[in-house]
Amino acid sequence: MIKQIFGKLPRKPSSKSSHGDTPPDGIITVAGRSSSERKPNFAVGSPSIAAQAGAGNGALGFAASYQPLPSFRDVPSSEKPGLFLRKLAMCCVVFDFSDPAKNAREKEIKRQMLLELVDYISTVTVKFNEAAMQEATKMVAANIFRTFSSSAGGDGQRATEGFEAEEEEPAMEPAWPHLQIVYEFFLRFIASGETDAKVAKRYVDHSFILRLLELFDSEDPREREYLKTILHRVYGKFMVHRPFIRKAINNIFYQFIFETEKHNGIAELLEILGSIINGFVLPLKEEHKLFLVRALIPLHKPKCLALYHQQLSYCITQFVEKDNKLADTVIRGS
């Protein structure tokens, strides 16, 4: 479906991660056609739009205010940075996709703006200033961060139930037609040479990264695939955040092993760690060896091991190849 939607469009190759990651299958190209999005969170958008959308009978007023902005092609270069900020602000409005017909016109306007933002961020040749970085991360946060239903167990739930519901399809995110473009925007924003990590780290901070990691519990495999690529790029670009990211992933594993045994993104997190471990320098630090003993080896205990065994085996193999003395620790399981 996605390939049919964007197949006619020119593909903008994204820059490679320093860890050799490749974009997930089905990554959109740029400036194409798609469709629809999620619960309205108008408080994040521009004040005028939020006020009109929140009014009891303000639907018509909201529709009138949510109008398309000029294309980047139609304004002089000097006005493009300002237009970029205005489009980001409008894309902070989040729509309800539970009803495909609701706000269909506004959803299409936003979809087109998101595609223009992806195109702009892929071709810009001027460093993003701090205001642009702040508004870019604000727009991404407004669209992707949300709380998953506690009743949705996904792959982890099905595994702990002994694969009784193995044939059950995962719940796909209805807002994906917008979410996918937002993820593509953020991926290119992080990968862009015009994004200064020293400034961007103020907005892609610890709080942002924790919320990004929470999304790995999404039941939608398309979302987890994007998150895997994005987190890998974040790890590569923001060296200052690397210890924090490793620790945060550790905490997810601890909670999964010793408390819930339910999580949809363990395989994807292990895949990222496999690349991270591969980059560890010798001799291995003690904290890295402790990670093997306290997190990776205990991951053999949950009943749903089969869902991530391949990725776990790769991580452990990386450790043993770097230090063959660890083989005894792995065999003994402690």
- pLDDT tens digits for 269-280? 999 999 999 999
d(CA 316, CA 330): 8
Percent of the chain surpassing pLDDT 70: 75
Q: Class of 2-332 per CATH? A: mainly alpha
Q: What angle do CA 137, 18, 218 make, to 5 degrees?
A: 50
Output the DSSP codes for 304-329: TGGGTHHHHHHHHHHHHHH-TTHHHH
What's residue 164's pLDDT? 46
What's residue 274's pLDDT? 96
Q: Which of 137, 145, 232 is nearest to 185 (CA)?
A: 137
- pLDDT tens digits for 82-131? 999 999 999 999 999 999 899 999 999 999 999 999 999 999 999 999 99
Domains of the chain by residue range = 2-332
Contacts of 315 by beta carbon, 8 Å cutoff, 6+ apart: 270, 273, 274, 277, 296
**Residue 92 · residue 139 · CB < 8 Å:** yes
Comparing 59 with 105, which gets the higher pLDDT? 105
**Residue 187 · residue 23 · CB < 8 Å:** yes
Task: Name the residue with tokens 């990554």.
Answer: 27
State pTM to two decimals: 0.80
pLDDT range class, residue 19, cuts 50, 70, 90: very low
* Position 15 pLDDT exceeds 60: no
d(CA 90, CA 37): 14
